[in-house]
Chains A and B, each alone.
Chain A
Amino acid sequence: MSALLEVNGVSVSFDGFRAINDLSFEIGPAELRAIIGPNGAGKTTFMDIITGKTRPDTGSVMFGEPPTNLLKLPESRIAQAGIGRKFQRPTVFEQQTVSDNLMMALKAPRSPLAALTSRRTRSTEERIAALAAEVGLRDSLARRAGELSHGQKQWLEIGMLLAQDPKLLLVDEPAAGMTVSEREHTTDILKRAAETRAVIVVEHDMEFIRRLDCRVTVLHEGSVLAEGSLDHVTADQQVIDVYLGR
């Protein structure tokens, strides 16, 4: 089975500080993966590299079939290639309606000309409505995104991510600030998404990860410390050292 994303020997440093150090990583086309690690382990920088926000000093990032080198593409192309990202802080377009937010995320040609000629057809509206229903925002379609609660914004963002229909989803701390029932709902959405595509979840909350029930990669000081089931990695002495201190 060939991997969907293959990160090989990537390193990056800021002003002499090595944020990512010879990191290698692989994920298959329909897989759910959680990434954990203490603060400063390089989780966010790892996502920045995949999405093109940060350019690494060395290494390669290959994606898709046939594999293309993401390091040569601008951010928008990487997104168009099928990588969606949810940021740590919910970032939705607060001035615009939930419906508009989802509409912009919907998979469709991204060029200015396409945007100028696009018309809102019945089928787009239906897809938007279906997505909104999936993330529990069916009744809020006409509301401005800025009026939503924190949790609702998180869901809207996940909805936008699903609307993109990406091959790979990068989700940064989706459960932050959610109630218990909201978390359960989020877990369901992510697990369902992982049936057809690859999903990488960065999360601190061990309980949330346990519920995801997937392979876990532990990052520490910019490289992979351990990989395996949650039980396996939590039993790893090195991981315990890192989390609990020596």
Chain B
Amino acid sequence: MPRFALVLTAIMLAIAIAPRAMPGPHSALAQTADGTMAVVTEPAAPAPSAPGPLQAVLQANADAIAKPSRTTVDTVIAALLESNAPGAATFLAQWRDRGVVQRKADGLFFYGVETADGFSLTDPDTGKNTGNAAKADVTQLRPNSGVRGVLSSALVQFQLADPDIAVRESALIAIERGAEASQLEPLRASIEAESDAGLKARKTRLERLLTIQFDPSAEARIAAIESFAGDISVDVRAALNPLVATTPKAFAEVPAGTNVARALAPGGDIPLDDAYGLLVTAGLAQAAPTLAEMRAALIANRADGAVAGVPVAALGSQAARMDAYARLAAAGTVPPPVTEDAKRAALATVSIVAVYNEPDANVTAAAEATLASISRSLALNQTLDLALDALSLASIYFLAAIGLAITFGVMRVINMAHGEFIMIGAYTGYVVQQFITDYTLSILVALPLAFFIAALAGVAMERLVIRHLARRPLETLLATFGISIALQQIAKNIFGTQARPLTAPAWLDGAWVVNDVVSISTIRIAIFVLALIFLALLLFILARTRLGLEVRAVTQNPAMASSMGINPDRINMLTFGLGSGIAGIAGVAIGLFAKVTSDLGSGYIVQSFMTVVVGGVGNIWGTLAGASMIGSLQKVIEFFNPSNTLAAQTYMIIFIIIFIQFRPKGIIALKGRAAGD
């Protein structure tokens, strides 16, 4: 097996040259280039009397190296590998990176680093500096990108066994991105000697993936395929899916040994015309003229304002055209038309089957089985991922809606400007970042500040407007809408219409990745935690504090509460401040992952209303239930229709409208007389 021997040599060669290449050809040469003084003091070494082993190989292929093309580069690489010459890998790397020059005088190759007035040369065999050369005396080799690609993939084989783990890893990544058949053997050979356990596991896995694609032995492929049962990684699916890809074909009789996936019913699994087209391709039927072809034939055969005796003016219907064409065909002028019935009859005599592109039936069977097991495990993981997404969306809705729920519960008014308090919070975060450049610190400052500013705006609105519209909920709704459009426009006038960035600190940038399917970004985890904190905080305030007691009393029975000496004005003001403040916090959170614009809030306002309505009024758990339901519903619908989030929202709203039919007072409703009417 000469091929295998060749590869083995290459690897040994690579190992042999590796130490000298360290810490990489670039830096080695760079050092030399930096020390121009040293080069000058040392007299320029004369050309070595006898070329080194590497130079000998290079000289043997001098033409191919000096003017490389995709076709010739392979012979050079093969020659280099065969020669066992130390430094071959370094040479390949240098060649690829345009670091090789050829001296015009004697045609010898050197590594050359460009200096101010020429090149500083290094002997490829010894690695020693051999002095400078003027630009005119040498030719720099500039292989084109195709050649460089070939060189890179050849180099991967060397790098797989490189002592530097970083080099090995990058070689592995290169293979993962685009594998070639030639890489399978070096990869296999490098596994044994791999010292790093993590890298070894990756190499083993990659080896199995390459085996699936490139190994000549069906048994080895099947074993590799089966080893991936239940593995949901994207690369496995990418390796397996081509194996089960099929092409529809037509046969008068399916030849033995054809790897048939399934039979196709014309008109059902495959459109009638397509099936007939296969028949034509297979030479089993005569081509049917298409509508366009028939039309062209009619046009071509016009004579004296008529086609085959039918006046052109009468050809304004498909039936008339068919008739005229049939006459032409009867006269033998054009190929005869094929009717639908004829097509069906022709198809009835043959088999239309989907044939696997992969010829080996055992391999395709194994691939189908493994893919089936993968899809089961994929479904499980997707559900998990969906649950995480839903949880994250639910926490956003919870944060956005809870303030609204509190104010609605206590005062029975809908605050249409709630979304603008969210916007105020987001802009507060943005402005704080203009003054505090440390992102972590700025978020820590922005959160309480956003609460404070939004709460202030809320209290002002309650005192100036809402208080004067007591017990007129519809007017309140509209008045707060007026405030909403005014606030939005003011924000637009101040900050402009373009989106402002609210940058998350670096530690929030990443994602928690479980596997290729299940992952969630750190920001969303942070928002989830924030939602939990506020849930706990609000539960504490409502259940354990005087304010909470009074708020609950006003929520359940305002008249009774006021007769018990609770000042409803004060409660209204405080709850409005609290609710608006939380909206401000939600604004900072939302701003971290969405763009901060003046209509940031209005994008969440309807969902917030829905959350409150669906959840039920006057109960934190209700809001939580509402947010969870709406969040998961939206994600589930999006899952079934991923291309279309608009449709998802449409269906969700319709669902909510229907839901309200069955639970008009929400999931968690106050019962009895306190609920009122």
| Residue ID in chain B nearest A13 by CB atoms | B672
| Residue ID in chain B nearest A17 by CB atoms | B672
B563 to chain A, nearest CB (A): 16
* Per-residue B-contact encoding for A1-37, CB less than 8 Å = 1, 0 else: 0000000000000110100000000000000000000
A51 to chain B, nearest CB (A): 14
Interface positions, chain B 639-677, Cβ under 8 Å from A, are: 671-673
Please measure, in the bound complex, the distance between the C-alpha atom of A14 and the C-alpha atom of B670, giving whole angstroms.
11
Contact residues in A for B672 (Cβ distance below 8 Å):
14-15, 17
Please measure, in the bound complex, the distance between the C-alpha atom of A15 and the C-alpha atom of B673, giving whole angstroms.
9
A42 to chain B, nearest CB (A): 13
Please measure, in the bound complex, the distance between the C-alpha atom of A33 and the C-alpha atom of B671, giving whole angstroms.
32
A17 to chain B, nearest CB (A): 8
B672 to chain A, nearest CB (A): 4
Please measure, in the bound complex, the distance between the C-alpha atom of A228 and the C-alpha atom of B671, giving whole angstroms.
36
Please measure, in the bound complex, the distance between the C-alpha atom of A15 and the C-alpha atom of B674, giving whole angstroms.
10
Contact residues in B for A14 (Cβ distance below 8 Å):
671-673
Contact residues in B for A17 (Cβ distance below 8 Å):
672
Contact residues in A for B673 (Cβ distance below 8 Å):
14
Using C-beta atoms within 8 Å of the partner chain, give the interface range for chain B: under 10
Q: How many residues of A contact B (CB 8 A)?
A: 3
Please measure, in the bound complex, the distance between the C-alpha atom of A67 and the C-alpha atom of B673, giving whole angstroms.
30
B257 to chain A, nearest CB (A): 74
Please measure, in the bound complex, the distance between the C-alpha atom of A105 and the C-alpha atom of B610, giving whole angstroms.
39
B670 to chain A, nearest CB (A): 9
A159 to chain B, nearest CB (A): 26
Contact residues in A for B671 (Cβ distance below 8 Å):
14-15
B538 to chain A, nearest CB (A): 24
Please measure, in the bound complex, the distance between the C-alpha atom of A15 and the C-alpha atom of B671, giving whole angstroms.
7
Please measure, in the bound complex, the distance between the C-alpha atom of A82 and the C-alpha atom of B374, giving whole angstroms.
70
Please measure, in the bound complex, the distance between the C-alpha atom of A17 and the C-alpha atom of B671, giving whole angstroms.
11
Please measure, in the bound complex, the distance between the C-alpha atom of A154 and the C-alpha atom of B673, giving whole angstroms.
25
Please measure, in the bound complex, the distance between the C-alpha atom of A14 and the C-alpha atom of B673, giving whole angstroms.
8
| Residue ID in chain B nearest A54 by CB atoms | B673
| Residue ID in chain B nearest A15 by CB atoms | B672
Please measure, in the bound complex, the distance between the C-alpha atom of A14 and the C-alpha atom of B672, giving whole angstroms.
5
| Residue ID in chain B nearest A45 by CB atoms | B673
B520 to chain A, nearest CB (A): 41
A49 to chain B, nearest CB (A): 14
Please measure, in the bound complex, the distance between the C-alpha atom of A169 and the C-alpha atom of B671, giving whole angstroms.
30
Please measure, in the bound complex, the distance between the C-alpha atom of A114 and the C-alpha atom of B212, giving whole angstroms.
80
Interface positions, chain B 307-325, Cβ under 8 Å from A, are: none
Contact residues in B for A15 (Cβ distance below 8 Å):
671-672
Please measure, in the bound complex, the distance between the C-alpha atom of A205 and the C-alpha atom of B331, giving whole angstroms.
111
Please measure, in the bound complex, the distance between the C-alpha atom of A15 and the C-alpha atom of B675, giving whole angstroms.
11
Please measure, in the bound complex, the distance between the C-alpha atom of A17 and the C-alpha atom of B672, giving whole angstroms.
9
| Residue ID in chain B nearest A53 by CB atoms | B677
A19 to chain B, nearest CB (A): 9
B656 to chain A, nearest CB (A): 25
Please measure, in the bound complex, the distance between the C-alpha atom of A180 and the C-alpha atom of B672, giving whole angstroms.
37
Please measure, in the bound complex, the distance between the C-alpha atom of A14 and the C-alpha atom of B676, giving whole angstroms.
12
* Per-residue A-contact encoding for B379-399, CB less than 8 Å = 1, 0 else: 000000000000000000000
B619 to chain A, nearest CB (A): 14
Please measure, in the bound complex, the distance between the C-alpha atom of A110 and the C-alpha atom of B121, giving whole angstroms.
108
B26 to chain A, nearest CB (A): 80
Please measure, in the bound complex, the distance between the C-alpha atom of A172 and the C-alpha atom of B673, giving whole angstroms.
19
| Residue ID in chain A nearest B670 by CB atoms | A15
B668 to chain A, nearest CB (A): 14
Please measure, in the bound complex, the distance between the C-alpha atom of A14 and the C-alpha atom of B671, giving whole angstroms.
7
| Residue ID in chain A nearest B672 by CB atoms | A14
| Residue ID in chain A nearest B673 by CB atoms | A14
A74 to chain B, nearest CB (A): 15
A106 to chain B, nearest CB (A): 27
6 contacts between A and B (CB under 8 A): A14-B671, A14-B672, A14-B673, A15-B671, A15-B672, A17-B672
- A-B complex: 3 closest residue pairs judged by Cβ atoms: A14-B672, A15-B672, A15-B671
